[in-house]
Amino acid sequence: MNILTFDSGDKLNEAGANIIAGLIQTQPTAVLGLATGGTPVGIYERLVSGFRRGLLSFRGVTAFNLDEYVGLDRQHPQSYYSYMQKHLFAHIDLPAEQAHIPDGNAADLQAECERYDRLIAEAGQIDLQLLGIGHNGHIGFNEPAHALIRGTHVVDLAEETRKANARFFGSADEVPKQAITMGVGTILKAKTILLVVRGADKADIVRRALTGPITTECPASLLQTHPHLVVLLDKDAAGRLP
């Protein structure tokens, strides 16, 4: 585990973007696992800037997003399809057929989960998986539970998760109750995991995930078992680490 702490958001964003850009520059056909939410926005902005400056191309990259809400049309402003278009995909040369996001409106959600797992398997091992962490320790939308599911699956979102995501909607009632998420088993198969966390409100869960017992009640704690985990923290998120 390699933990890096930064005294500014700009430096953290630059470090995260440099790790991803460096992989693409040395491995143009890299397979990326991508995340959404507020955490990676600044990283995506720097990747877009690097593309516009001619420093990197995404033409050979294949990307798989971690998750998508169930029941939101992909054109809904809070769908993760819309998020990725807004913050990254619409601004780079990644071919649309190589940018994969689960279909939360699929008629058969189980079949969609199986299709998504097949696509990941056909692409080969994910080279780098970008992750954030929820206040309850979820990664992707893998919520705390007595047991975790390895592959892509439909999950009932915890009320804590829905409340945390309400800031993106009009109210907590508008946040979907389910999502499709990549499973923990798939996440842990990535060659490198890049965990990015910001803010004092995440300090407790960062400490628990990185230094506490490994348990499915804190899915992020399973990251301790990964052989190549890189953690980027701002000074506030690192505040409770020993």
What lies within 8 Å, CB to CB, of 39 at 6+ separation is: 132, 196, 197, 198
**What are phi and psi for residue 34, nearest 5 degrees?**
-115, 155
Whether residue 239 lies inside any domain: the answer is: no
Q: Is residue 171 over pLDDT 90?
A: no
Q: Give 12 or 159, the one with higher predicted confidence.
A: 12
Domain that holds residue 121: 2-214+224-234
Whether residue 219 lies inside any domain: the answer is: no
Catalytic site residues?
67, 136, 138, 143
Cross-strand pairs, 216 = none
Tokens of 61: 């990259």
State the CATH number of the domain containing residue 193: 3.40.50.1360
Which of 15-19, 149-153, 163-167, 180-184 is predicted with the least confidence, judged by mean pLDDT?
A: 163-167
* Per-residue pLDDT reduced to its tens digit, 42-51: 999 999 999 9
Whether residue 174 lies inside any domain: the answer is: yes
CA distance 228 to 184: 15
How many domains does the chain fold into?
1
* Per-residue pLDDT reduced to its tens digit, 90-148: 999 999 999 999 999 999 999 999 999 999 999 999 999 999 999 999 999 999 998 89
% of the chain with per-residue pLDDT over 70: 100
Whether residue 241 lies inside any domain: the answer is: no
Q: How far is CA 59 from the centre of its chain?
A: 21
Band of residue 11 on the pLDDT scale cut at 50, 70, 90: very high
Whether residue 240 lies inside any domain: the answer is: no
Write down the pLDDT at residue 83: 97
